[in-house]
Amino acid sequence: MKPLLLTPLLLTLAGCTAAPLAPLPVWEGAPPAETLTLKPGQDPRGTINKQTHRADVFIPEFVVYPAAKPGAPLVIVCPGGGYGILAETHEGSEVAKRLNAFGSAAVVLKYRVPRRDPNKPWIVPVMDARETLRIVRARATEWNADPKKIGILGFSAGGNLAARVAYAPAAPDAPRPDFAVMVYPAYLFEKDKPDSVLREGPDGVVPPKGVKPVPAFFAHSADDPYPAEGSMAFAKLLKSMGGSAEVHVWAKGGHGWGASERCLAARRWTDLLGEWMKDQGLLQP
């Protein structure tokens, strides 16, 4: 057997990845707008199924991965799972490690699932994400992060969640991130078909007029059943409203690749994200 050789990337990961801190609660006391009932003996923080996905979250939490140096950006990571479960390993902890490796702090959010409202499944997760954003901005310096460089990143349903927190119509005092990253975001279109249109109105993702959107980064695969045209259409809209957007679409990869070795997109998107964050002045070049 050949000895294991560490590549430069693995050496970087080994040297710059911080150990995660103990989970912190999103809410003090009972979370608001809860409509489901916890079963006797059930862990309110969720259970892990055979696919290592987290299900049945009643008490949302977040796990902090501090940056190695002060003044870093911090990214709130929202795993996907159709608003039904959380794919919290390859769309959560593994993502946080990669963000740490290029100098960013990270927070992995375990928002409430499954769907409380079958028709508007984002309502409770948006509450959890906004409260997390408020807490993180207030405590950023504790984790070597700059409170003016707080972003949100999501996958699939988590990408929809990131889009809603960053851009969708909300109360004037609703917290907004400083940038947003959407990886194969779902439900941006009214129907998940390439020729559909973006969801508008109070329950849509289209930003209100008169507000400059925060910078956006998109990563998608052309063969994803949740069409890449959604990412491209949303990016075009944000640019038309005075924002900026960068979109990367790979020919192959399908859906749900996260931070893994499954395909070229899964291996490369975080490198491109790091370069984009440098261009945005969020990371030191």
The verdict on residue 129 lying in a domain is yes
| pLDDT tens sequence for the chain (285 residues) | 333 333 344 434 444 567 999 999 999 999 999 999 999 999 999 999 988 899 999 999 999 999 999 999 999 999 999 999 999 999 999 999 999 999 999 999 999 999 999 999 999 999 999 999 999 999 999 999 999 999 999 999 999 999 999 999 999 999 999 999 999 999 999 999 999 999 999 999 999 999 899 999 999 999 999 999 999 999 999 999 999 999 999 999 999 999 999 999 999 999 999 999 999 999 988
The secondary structure of the chain in percent helix, strand, coil, rounded to multiples of 5, reads 30, 20, 50
Q: Are 134 and 165 in contact (CB under 8 A)?
A: no
The verdict on residue 284 lying in a domain is no
Q: Which residue has the tokens 């249109």?
A: 197
The pLDDT assigned to 5 comes to 39
Rounded CA separation 103/71 (Å): 10
- Residue range(s) defining the domain that contains residue 177: 8-279
The verdict on residue 257 lying in a domain is yes
The contacts found for 127-130 with CB under 8 angstroms, 24 or more apart, are: 127/31, 127/32, 127/33, 128/26, 128/27, 128/31, 128/60, 129/76, 129/78, 129/161, 129/162, 129/165, 130/165, 130/174, 130/175
Using a 10 angstrom Cβ sphere, with 0-12 exposed, 13-18 middle and 19 or more buried, the burial of residue 185 is buried
CATH number for the domain including 155?
Answer: 3.40.50.1820
The verdict on residue 24 lying in a domain is yes
Q: How many CB atoms lie within 10 A of CB 151?
A: 28
In this structure, what token pair is assigned to residue 141?
Answer: 């310096």
The pLDDT assigned to 16 comes to 56
For residue 62, what are the β-bridge partners? 24, 109
- Counted domains in the chain: 1
The verdict on residue 1 lying in a domain is no
Q: SS3 of 73, please?
A: strand
What is the per-residue pLDDT across 166-215, written as a single tens digit (0 to 9) for each?
Answer: 999 999 999 999 999 999 999 999 999 999 999 999 999 999 999 899 99
The verdict on residue 285 lying in a domain is no
The verdict on residue 203 lying in a domain is yes
In this structure, what token pair is assigned to residue 72?
Answer: 């870093």
Q: Is the dihedral of CA 12, 108, 57, 159 positive or negative?
A: negative
For residue 76, what are the β-bridge partners? 107, 152
The verdict on residue 214 lying in a domain is yes
